[in-house]
Amino acid sequence: MDLQLRGKTSLGVMLAQKLNGEVISSDSMQIYKEMNIGTAKPTKEEIKNIPHHLIDFVSPDEEYNVSKYKEDALKTINDILSRGKVPIIVGGTGLYINTLVNGIEFSDIEKDEEYTSYLEKISKKEDGVDTLYKMLQEVDPESAKVIEKNNVRRVIRALEIFKVTGRKKSDLDIESRKETPYEYLVYGINWDREELYDRINRRVDIMLNDGLVDEVKKLSNKYNISKTALQGLGYKEVIEYLEGKASYEEMVEKIKTESRRYAKRQMTWFKKTPGIIWLDGKDVNSMVEKITNDYIGE
């Protein structure tokens, strides 16, 4: 992968070198073993001997959720701090970051099995994923901004919470925020939209050239891939292509389109999130200098 497409990865490594730190991933897909190309998992060359945590440790046939991530991330932060190093959290899964930084706790909300079964049946219909996402946008637009449309499991859960409690998941998340044991400096990389979309398109092309289709084929033959693993952009589309439901060209265009839409939703959500310090993505050295100065000044 061209390092110019590695904004967060390069920045995390450079900061770790500067601050005697270690990187903790907050990418909900890079947790999975053997899912390397489609998740743009950093290579050994790219991480430059900097320890990276919460990458490559969950089997593709296992379910994993944000509650588990919060638990694992806090343990990792404690471990890094105990060794006198600086934890540097890198990644773009808004739900993971929000939960960790804001100390969100998850209360047990009863399930409505009948309603869940009804929603799952909808998801299996043609355009069913779009239908569910529109339902979520109508009842809980704030959750729809942070939950990826293809993440059917989370879309269904948000709809189920609204059905059972009569309240929006986004409101319950805010109410469940607790004081965190740490103070976080939170940064976002700001890109011109057209430049960002161009980067996404090039990244998809590189993934396909690097063997994304073969990777998905091997995973499908080896595992009963979990619902959480299948939420990754690209994997579902490649499976549709392998099953003859889409041509190669249709698959490529759909991956690019869904990736751009996801990036737009995430950026919109992050822009509305208070407390984020925005940095110019064009100059990684300036970003490193800014963050280093902020950290030392704390």
Measured between alpha carbons, how far is 293 from 192 in angstroms, rounded to an integer? 25
- Residue 114 has, within 13 A of its CA and on its CB side, a CA count of 2
- The pLDDT of residue 106 is 62
**pTM as predicted:** 0.78
Q: What are phi and psi of 233, to 5 degrees?
A: -60, 130
- The pLDDT of residue 161 is 86
- The pLDDT of residue 3 is 36
Measured between alpha carbons, how far is 219 from 62 in angstroms, rounded to an integer? 13
Residue 196 CB neighbours (<10 A): 18
- The pLDDT of residue 63 is 82
- Count of all residues that appear for the chain in the document: 298
- The pLDDT of residue 145 is 85
Q: What are phi and psi of 281, to 5 degrees?
A: -70, -10
Residue burial 61-74, b: 16+ Cβ < 10 Å; e: rest: eeebebeebbebbb
- The pLDDT of residue 1 is 36
Q: What structural domains and CATH numbers belong to the chain?
A: 3-106+176-297 (3.40.50.300), 113-175 (1.10.20.140)
- The pLDDT of residue 2 is 37
Measured between alpha carbons, how far is 78 from 226 in angstroms, rounded to an integer? 29
- The per-residue pLDDT string of the chain (298 residues; one tens digit each, 9 = 90 and over) reads 333 445 788 899 999 999 999 999 999 899 999 999 988 898 888 888 999 999 999 999 888 888 889 999 999 999 999 999 999 999 878 888 888 988 877 665 667 788 888 999 999 888 899 999 999 999 999 889 888 888 888 899 899 888 877 888 888 877 777 778 888 999 998 888 888 899 899 999 999 999 999 999 999 888 887 777 777 788 889 999 999 999 999 999 999 998 998 888 888 878 878 889 999 888 888 999 999 999 988 5
Measured between alpha carbons, how far is 276 from 201 in angstroms, rounded to an integer? 26
Q: What is the DSSP letter of 177?
A: B
- The pLDDT of residue 54 is 97
Measured between alpha carbons, how far is 217 from 208 in angstroms, rounded to an integer? 13
